[in-house]
Structure 1
C-alpha cells in the first residue's frame, strides 16, 4: 500500500467515524433526558464537527476549512458557557422553589 493510498484510507475512515459520532450525538441531543445531557451532546457534536473540518481540509487540500473550524471552536465555547450558566440558574431556581 502506497503512502498516498494509506492517507486516503485513513482520511476516509476518520471522516466516517466522525460522522458516526455526530449521528450518535444527535440521538443523545434528541432523547435527552436532561438539559445537561443535551448540553454535553451539543458540545461533543461541535467538537466532532471541528475535527471533521480539519480532516476535510487535509483531504480537500483547502486551508479555508481550518478557518471555519477555528471560528466554530470560538462560537462553541461561548455557547456552551452560556448554556451552562442557564442550566445553573435553572437549578438555583428549582432549589429555591422547593
Structure 2
C-alpha cells in the first residue's frame, strides 16, 4: 500500500509540470495566476501524500493548511492588484 502512495506522489510531481508550462509561457498574467493556483493545489496534495508515507500526517496537515492559506491570500492580493482600475485623479488649482 505504501508503494501505491509513493507512485502516486511521483506521478503527481510529473503532473505539476503541466501547469508549470502555463506559468512560464502563459500569454496573460491571469493564465499565469491560474497556473500558479493549480500548482499550489497539487503541491498541497503532494505534501499530504509525503506525510502519509513518513507516517507523520498530523504535522504535514498543519503545514498544508498554512500553505493553503498563504496561497489563497497571495492569489487574492495579486488578483486585486491586477483588477484595480488605475484612476488618474486630477486636481485643478
TM-score range, shorter chain: 0.7 to 0.9
Q: Secondary structure at the match of 2:16?
A: helix
Aligned residue in 1 for 2:81: 86
Which has more radius of gyration?
Answer: 2
Between the two proteins, the alignment pairs up a number of residues equal to: 85
Task: Give the gaps of 5 or more residues in structure 2.
Answer: 87-93
TM-score by length of 2: 0.82
For 1:1-98, what aligned pairs fall within 5 Å after superposition?
7-62=1-56, 63-89=58-84, 92-93=85-86
In the TM superposition, structure 1's runs of 4+ consecutive aligned residues that sit over 2 Å from their partners are none
> For residues 88 and 29 of structure 1, what CA distance do their matches in structure 2 show?
19
Higher helix share: 1
Deviation at 1:9, TM superposition (A): 3.0
